Amino acid sequence: MATKSKTTTSPFYSQDLRKFMMTASITLFTTMILVAFLTPFAYMFLTSFKTKEQIVDAATGSVLPVSNKTIDYEGEELPILLVPSEDGSTVRELALLNGTRRSSTFVDPANLDAEPIEWEGRWRQLEPVTEPEWHPENYAEAWELADFPRLLFNTVAIAFFGLVGTVISCVCVAYAFARFPIPAKGFLFMVLIATIILPRQIMLVPLFAFFNFIGWTGTWLPLIVPHFFANAYNVFLLRQYFMQIPIDLDEAAMIDGATPFQILIYVIVPQSWPVIISVSLFHLVFAWNDYFEPLIYTLGNPDIQPIAVGIQQFNFIYGQQPQLIQATALLGMVIPVLLFFVAQRFFMQGVVITGVDK
């Protein structure tokens, strides 16, 4: 009498299968988001190496920078086409010498001394042979036309001096909120954080009137000096990080005779480099991409305009040349992207720790 064997599924096998499926789903979802996010950058990169003709041809052809392959035959450029044989079994690459509606004459690019080849059919329906043709000279042209050295100098100067003011002011304010027994400290901190939701446009008119009254318009001062008065977002990040540092270290330093300022310099700051670097990166990216205020305050003096304003004006002038527009956009992105990858470890550590209790 035959007996039926019952197979049982191990609970460990089921757990491993669920874990694998969850990991695969998350990986697939993340990959789809990454592809969707990087697709515009891939288009920018490819377009920056094309000519206007290649951009037009990309609408119905390859998205890569390619051009129709040709040969020089007796001082004339002949296009190379994919020509099928009479029975359609093979396809050859032949150069069109003379084409008519019903028959055409081709030459063999591999043997130009051979007799021309007669082919019956409509040559306009044949597919052209393409070859890669990249145009890195677009970057050199965009660099010169947009005057990138001047734009980079202006942007770096504005970002650097603003960075100094942001780090000094925000560290001092965050240190006060994290360590000093200030009366109504919680209420004052909430008022400071509430300024994050205040639109910049609300302060635009009074600030412009004030800066114009003191003669700062047309200079870098309106773009640099306000950063010496702290920023609520950066203060929040720094305060959260400072509060994770044990206060016992402050007390030990005070026993040794350290003043509050010395505690900040020799105890707090050396342990807070991750969050300080994060704040620095936030400010650099902000200053690099800021367009609205630099446009207003530097409009009367084009020589001091930063890269965001310069690229936008370049786009207005050369709007009919997409390859140059994409080249300037990529040139403007190089330094912020490099800074992010160089300081990525400190950036991620600073952001994560400020939002997680130890």
Tens digits of per-residue pLDDT, 163-203? Answer: 999 999 999 999 999 999 889 998 999 999 988 888 888 88
For residues 345 and 279, the answer to whether their CB atoms sit within 8 Å is no
Rounded-to-integer distance, Cα 299 and Cα 308, Å: 12
Tens digits of per-residue pLDDT, 79-91? Answer: 899 888 877 778 8
Q: Which residues contact 279 (CB under 8 A, 6 or more apart)?
A: 166, 167, 170, 234, 237, 238, 350
The secondary structure of 144-191 as a DSSP string is HHTTHHHHHHHHHHHHHHHHHHHHHHHHHHHHHHHHS--TTHHHHHHH
For residues 116 and 97, the answer to whether their CB atoms sit within 8 Å is yes
Element (H, E) at 346: helix 344-354
Residue with tokens 């016992």, as numbered in its chain? 248
Tens digits of per-residue pLDDT, 8-34? Answer: 556 666 777 888 888 889 999 999 998
Answer with the residue of higher pLDDT: 231 or 13. Answer: 231
